[in-house]
Structure 1
Amino acid sequence: MTYYFYLFEVHSIQSYILSSGKLKDMVGASELLESLLQKPLDHALSVLDYKEGLKSDGDYDFSRRGSSAFSLLFTDKEKAIALRDLWGLIIAGIAPGLSFGQSISDGAESPNAAYKQAAATLRTLRLYRTPELPVAGPLVRRSPRTGKPSVSLDKKQDSPEWIDLATQKKRQFSSAPELEDKFDPDKQSGCRFPSNTDTEFPVDTTRYVGILHADGNALGNITSQLADELSNKTAADFTETFKTFSEKINLATTEAAQLALAPIIHKTKENTDLEKPFLPFRPLVLGGDDLTAIIGGEFAFDFTRDFLEFFEQKTKEHLAELQEYDAIPEQLTACAGLAFIKINQPFRMGYRLAESLTLEAKQQSKALVEGSQQLTPSSMVFHRVSTSMIEDYSVALPRELTAWDGDDAYQLTLGAYGVGGHATQLPALDDLLAMKQLFRDETMSRGPMRHFTTLLHESIPEARKSYARWQENMQKLYVADDPESPLASYNELTDRLLGSKLHECLPFVESSTGQYRSFLGDMSTWMAVEGENND
């Protein structure tokens, strides 16, 4: 028998969601994508009169459905082509401007070979941009928000606004509940998710929000290896195993997000008398091993840490029944990037920074286990935009976080911080949290330490003197060998964060690439986004 795989995936999901820069439009785009593979896809299959279940003489089997992608196995290529053509038209009508890819394998004697054919084609399609037709002429009125041809005047806003077709469709979904229900099923919390940054999103006096992007590690490799392991299985076993694996990952990610959100819900209800308060949290993407959200600055670190830890726990729990397959690890890990911006700054640029931070976290984590069978440790990298808006961490690092003393570079960040049970080789986020809490105590002389951190950018020699004076003053206040003193706690945490190869007179460690690195900028960022008086 000849098998044909039909694969579909949405490209550049976050770019589509963030294209207008208005939170209400982002919400609508998120909800549109969340519902896209539900009723619309069922309707397409129904119109073609296709029946599921190859084993029972049906037309197709799902091996994946969710996270803006699906995979279908056919034994009749013409039926796959008919669905592909119809589905492309449906997408154009429901989600104009959405970039996506579709591929159908040439045909193979095994599901595994057919899957690999279609997957290879789909990977090449990611390099191409979906054309938007017809091309608008120079006399067409443009949407001020997106620059695309406008199709209507939206009078439902505070002030009438010309909008393009994609924005019009997104706003039709802005009240849909699918994505919100993943985080708060049936609105059990009694809270609401904000859709307006001006009137609904609660922020503290710092006005910082964290844009979080989290992504699982090595899922692509696991999928490829699983396909090879199933190469000799029947078509039904192949699709069912893949479908189960996909559903387990989706469930684990959703449950991890719910558990991480619970403390935010609790604190929000605790601090207000409102019957249905707005949460300082807006989900944008939740599917597969991906999560994107906007979080109030004071909650962003805790949510990110909790999500990464719960993701490890929940994947271990849900993958337990699939351990008969060598390709499937005991659990999965994830990395995250957290970009802090003011709530009135462009979310799209903030997301691009978050995405580059996630990439940095992945690179640092993968380097620790390269060539071994160990799991990539969960980690996170964060950055606060304090000057001009920079979308790429590789640009921000030398420009904003690096001081120079001749040819010696001093980076005020340790980069990736480890979270979870596999991150013992990375500086621990919990240790940075303990250091931040330690410096909340006025006995730690925050003023001189803040002055020292500022001096690092101006003059390393002067910074050395400032740090030496701070240490002398602290030693006068506390007995050197008192293990309970704040100074002893500081020295212990410094050793745990920096490890070996310490600088002789500054709280920096020499990295493998020759630069000196420190936690000082990271601690300052954490304190700044939470506010000076936040405990």
Structure 2
Amino acid sequence: MYVVMIGTAGNQRYIFSSGKRQEIVGASDLIARVNGAWADEAMASVFPGFEPSWRVGDGHDAELLTAGAGTITALVRNRDAGRRLVTEVTHRALAEAPGLHVCGVVVATPEPVNGIGMTKARTELAAVREARPGPQARFLRLPLAEDCASTGLPAQALHREGRDEPFRTRSAASMAKLRHFPAALDRLAGDAETDRSTMREIVDRLGLEADWVAVVHADGNGFGDLFRTLGSLVDGDQAYADALRTLSRGVDACARRAFRVALDRTAREPEAVTVSGRPPVLPLVLGGDDLTVVCEGASALPFTRHYLEAFEEETANDVSLRPMLHRLERPSLGAAAGVAIVKRNYPFRFAYDLAEELISVEAKRVKEWGSALAFTVLFESSAPDLSRIRRSATLAGGSAASASPYLVGQGADGPRAERRRWADLLRRVEALRRTDPVSGELLIPRGAVHDLREGLCLGAEVARARFALLRTRFAGDRARLDALAELEGDPGQLVWTDRSGDEERTVTGLMDAMAALSFLPVKEGGR
């Protein structure tokens, strides 16, 4: 028996190597084809008559275990057949997706479907990736070639985006992505339960009209450990294979349903931005526990919150996952998300790196508590560095200022989530946005809010003094001002001590509320 594992690498770099929306969308479709149409056709070619219902335990020559997010795992009885399977997929990628890194391994093991066999295959695949030259090595600079205007790779052709646009140089990778753009629109329309014309409008809006856009990346909490320990939860090789397949497909189905639920809920938000009734959201990666979307800035935070909550709900209610969750003694599966909101023309590859860093540094810090989202709004044009961004607004003495991440879903009900629940962020934003019902003017002027922020940068006591002066100035609306305070019975306190990490930090939610002010519309009284 042999484990065949084929996977893509550097997916986000491949998707965001260009700032052109059509190329980004086309790249996401090519990755989806690796574990989709290309995998199906390769299995049928190597194993005539193959059906997804095949099981090696029933005497068949192959069994498909998982297929999602650019990765395929299968069991085969013959080593040469496994190698032909790898060859079919990788040759297809070389021909139709130049620049995409795809490789595979065939690993012999006495017990191919247990956790040890899968771990061995993953380890060998990582070693093969490391040893092989990267995709950049395929694009030689001799003989000399002009650079692609989109990716910087050697140009292969001339292309113009519109009838009145000039011809520009394009590389083989860029042309492949552009060719797959129409098919990608159909796939995205299916994911979002809309039509191709609406998806095209969304692409145009994000590329030409939106002032702020966001890259949202979400990743499951503890899924790596779950897959690695799966063998200890079941008895027998076939039971392990069935559990692995069920878990993989179940999580994938839950993520897709959660995505659609999040779109519907986002469209019903107050002051929601929509295109033909759908939020301007492009799902670039939607498979397994991974989600990467590009969306308009005003939709980013509500969509992310709704997705995380819907993902918990869907995994809790999924019949196929229920036995596994029962063994794990968990009511549902959670996820962490990073949201990087940037200007429309900002390089997406930097925005994605920032979203990924928000997950690993902040959102994953509280993964034991439940689903969480961390966000930042980038007001500068330099390459982002999260630690520098957070240090740029610190309290006197160097303590961190941001209260990020924020807990949503079931984790927000726990006592540890106090003051960093989604409802807490909404409370602060609503306090800053409240207007006089007669004049329409802000009850808390922006100048006063920035004065508080300056006080926070000078120290907690300075902020307390300035807040006391503000309460005296606006004595008629102290209740609204006190909504900014963090400690019950102490209306002057804008900071608190956070103990969620390895060390205590003094944090505040005011900075986050100010950053989210333009991207998180709320109705009177909060939500």
Q: TM-score, normalised by structure 1?
A: 0.84
| 1:474-503 deviations in Å (ceiling 9; x for gaps) | 4x3258xxxxx3245444xx237xx9xx9x
CA contact (8 A) 2:215 2:341 kept: yes
- The one of 432, 439, 457 aligned to 1:439: 432
- The one of 25, 28, 31 aligned to 2:26: 28
Greater displacement, 135-144 / 324-333: 324-333
Q: Provide the secondary structure at the position in 1 that maps to 2:229.
A: helix
Question: How far did 1:255 drift?
Answer: 0.6
1:68 maps to what in 2?
70
Question: How far did 1:269 drift?
Answer: 11
- The one of 258, 261, 264 aligned to 1:262: 264
Question: How far did 1:338 drift?
Answer: 0.6
Q: Provide the secondary structure at the position in 1 that maps to 2:125.
A: helix
Q: Provide the secondary structure at the position in 1 that maps to 2:283.
A: strand
CA contact (8 A) 1:201 1:278 kept: no
> Residues of 2 paired with 1:308 and 1:66: CA distance?
20
Question: How far did 1:455 drift?
Answer: 4.3
Q: Does structure 1 residue 382 correspond to structure 2 residue 386?
A: no
Letter in 1 for 2:82: A
Aligned ranges for residues 66-465 of structure 1 at < 5 Å? 66-112=68-114, 113-125=116-128, 127=130, 130-131=134-135, 132-133=137-138, 135-137=140-142, 139-157=144-162, 158-176=165-183, 177-185=185-193, 187=195, 191-194=198-201, 196=203, 202-203=209-210, 207-230=211-234, 232-235=235-238, 237-265=239-267, 276=276, 279-318=279-318, 319-323=320-324, 326-327=327-328, 329-366=330-367, 369=368, 376-398=369-391, 400-404=392-396, 408-423=397-412, 424=414, 425-426=416-417, 427-441=420-434, 442-457=442-457, 463-465=463-465
Going from structure 1 to structure 2, the CA distance change for 1:455 and 1:533 (only over 3 Å counts) comes to: farther
> Residues of 2 paired with 1:124 and 1:468: CA distance?
60
Going from structure 1 to structure 2, the CA distance change for 1:316 and 1:271 (only over 3 Å counts) comes to: closer
Question: How far did 1:352 drift?
Answer: 1.0
Q: Does structure 1 residue 495 correspond to structure 2 residue 500?
A: no
2:5 maps to what in 1?
7
Q: Provide the secondary structure at the position in 1 that maps to 2:284.
A: strand
1:507 maps to what in 2?
494
Q: CA RMSD in A?
A: 3.1
> Residues of 2 paired with 1:228 and 1:85: CA distance?
33
Unaligned ranges ≥5, structure 1:
370-375, 480-484
Question: How far did 1:316 drift?
Answer: 1.0
Going from structure 1 to structure 2, the CA distance change for 1:85 and 1:105 (only over 3 Å counts) comes to: same
Letter in 1 for 2:516: W
Q: Provide the secondary structure at the position in 2 that maps to 1:323.
A: helix
Question: How far did 1:179 drift?
Answer: 3.6
Greater displacement, 459-468 / 278-287: 459-468
Question: How far did 1:173 drift?
Answer: 0.9
Going from structure 1 to structure 2, the CA distance change for 1:268 and 1:55 (only over 3 Å counts) comes to: farther
CA contact (8 A) 2:301 2:519 kept: no
Going from structure 1 to structure 2, the CA distance change for 1:47 and 1:105 (only over 3 Å counts) comes to: same
> Residues of 2 paired with 1:452 and 1:161: CA distance?
50
Letter in 2 for 1:211: V
CA contact (8 A) 1:208 1:529 kept: no
| 1:423-450 deviations in Å (ceiling 9; x for gaps) | 4223101111122112212334543122
Going from structure 1 to structure 2, the CA distance change for 1:414 and 1:279 (only over 3 Å counts) comes to: closer
Unaligned ranges ≥5, structure 2:
435-441
Letter in 1 for 2:515: T
Letter in 1 for 2:494: P
1:470 maps to what in 2?
470
Question: How far did 1:284 drift?
Answer: 1.3
1:482 maps to what in 2?
none
CA contact (8 A) 1:202 1:280 kept: no
CA contact (8 A) 1:269 1:277 kept: no
Letter in 2 for 1:411: A
Letter in 1 for 2:403: L
Question: How far did 1:234 drift?
Answer: 4.1
Aligned identity (percent) is 23
Question: How far did 1:271 drift?
Answer: 7.5
CA contact (8 A) 1:334 1:379 kept: yes
Going from structure 1 to structure 2, the CA distance change for 1:122 and 1:328 (only over 3 Å counts) comes to: farther
CA contact (8 A) 1:334 1:378 kept: yes
> Residues of 1 paired with 2:190 and 2:487: CA distance?
41
> Residues of 1 paired with 2:112 and 2:35: CA distance?
26
| 1:212-271 deviations in Å (ceiling 9; x for gaps) | 1111111111111113434x4243x43332222111101100111101111444579998
> What is the count of residue pairs matched by the alignment?
500
> Residues of 2 paired with 1:134 and 1:395: CA distance?
35
Aligned ranges for residues 35-54 of structure 1 at < 5 Å? 35-50=33-48, 51-52=50-51, 53=54, 54=56
CA contact (8 A) 2:338 2:363 kept: no
